[in-house]
Amino acid sequence: MKKHDLQISPIRLFADDIKMYRVVNNLRDALIFQSYLDSISSWCDNSQLSINVDKCCVIHLGKTNDNFLYCLNGCKLPSPDLIKDLGVYIDSSLTYSKHIDIICAKARARCALFLKTFISRNPFTMKLFFTSYVRPLLEFSSPVWNPISKSDINKLESVQRYFTNRIPTCTYLPYNCRLKNLGLDSLEKRRTVADLVCLFSIISGSLNTFLHPHLLFDNPSTTRSHNLRLTTPLFNLSASQQNFISRTAPVWNKLPITILAASSKFIFRKRLSYVLADPISQPV
């Protein structure tokens, strides 16, 4: 097995899945990446483990990527434009629009299945069905892909709009009134809460995620807000603003210190849900 002098391992493991990554700017980088693949193959052979090459692929990120070809066990690895990794669909542009299209289609199909199969239109039953079997489809791993574009936000929200409009006591009511009557938050607010809870877990150390040097704190100030303010990254492209820190830092910096000083993730989420305004369900 070849040894590599790496400050940060390019390999990530989860159960029986393995991911490997590297910035490839030229042929030399591509050859080094291929040597990583050869090392994995050699280690598996020595450990009498077999790799299912049919389930392996390479995704090239970036518009200027040279899209070098790679192989594993003598087989060329395919390079699709869309892959599924731990339940999240990832495309080469990292926009996650395809992922949102797919989960919205699945959620709508599940709504249609209820309306077609069940006779009952009891509001409690319908709300319970939506929150238990539909909403999780629309929220799984949302801190990874939470959109900032209005079209994607509205696409996700339209599923809850559609189903709540089919509840007899809510039919023809404005959407914000439906949410208030049912005791529901908009999906947009719930994703924002999930983002902030994830950030709280990272900062408090309860979530083992490495974001250095991207997660930086502003210099302490005696005149502006609290001393846990985060530095918001600066990007030229609007699409780059979708990254996790750019989304969460502005909201995090506006939170009162009483919320940020929560002793646990549960308490933080509870306080945040009360204080954070819902951009959709507010009275018109």
**C-alpha distance from residue 206 to each of 82, 103, 215 (Å):** 32, 29, 16
| CB burial readout 203-226, b (16+ within 10 A) else e | beeeeeeeeeeebeebeeeeeeeb
pLDDT tens-place string over residues 165-185: 999 989 889 999 999 999 999
Q: How far apart are CA 41 and CA 56, in angstroms?
A: 12
pLDDT tens-place string over residues 17-51: 889 988 899 999 999 999 989 988 888 888 888 88
Q: How far apart are CA 19 and CA 56, in angstroms?
A: 10
Q: Which residue has the higher pLDDT, 152 or 207?
A: 152
Band of pLDDT at residue 7, cut at 50, 70 and 90: very low
- So what's the pLDDT on residue 213? 78
What single string gives the DSSP state of each residue in the chain?
------SS-SEEEETTEEEE-----SHHHHHHHHHHHHHHHHHHHHTT----GGG------STT------EETTEEPP--SEEEETTEEEETT---HHHHHHHHHHHHHHHHHHHHH-----HHHHHHHIIIIIHHHHHTTHHHH---SHHHHHHHHHHHHHHHHTSGGGTTS-HHHHHHHHT---HHHHHHHHHHHHHHHHHHTSS----TTT--BPPP-SSSS-TTPBPPP--SSGGGGGSHHHHHHHHHHHS-HHHHT-SSHHHHHHHHHHHSPPTTTS--
Structural tokens at position 283: 């009275």
- So what's the pLDDT on residue 150? 93
pLDDT tens-place string over residues 210-254: 777 788 888 776 566 677 888 888 777 766 788 899 999 999 999
Is the pLDDT at 194 greater than 60? The verdict is yes
Cα 12 → chain centroid? 17
- So what's the pLDDT on residue 101? 97
Q: How far apart are CA 172 and CA 168, in angstroms?
A: 9
Lowest pLDDT segment from 9-13, 107-111, 147-151, 276-280? 9-13
Q: Which residue has the higher pLDDT, 6 or 86?
A: 86
- So what's the pLDDT on residue 216? 82
- So what's the pLDDT on residue 9? 57
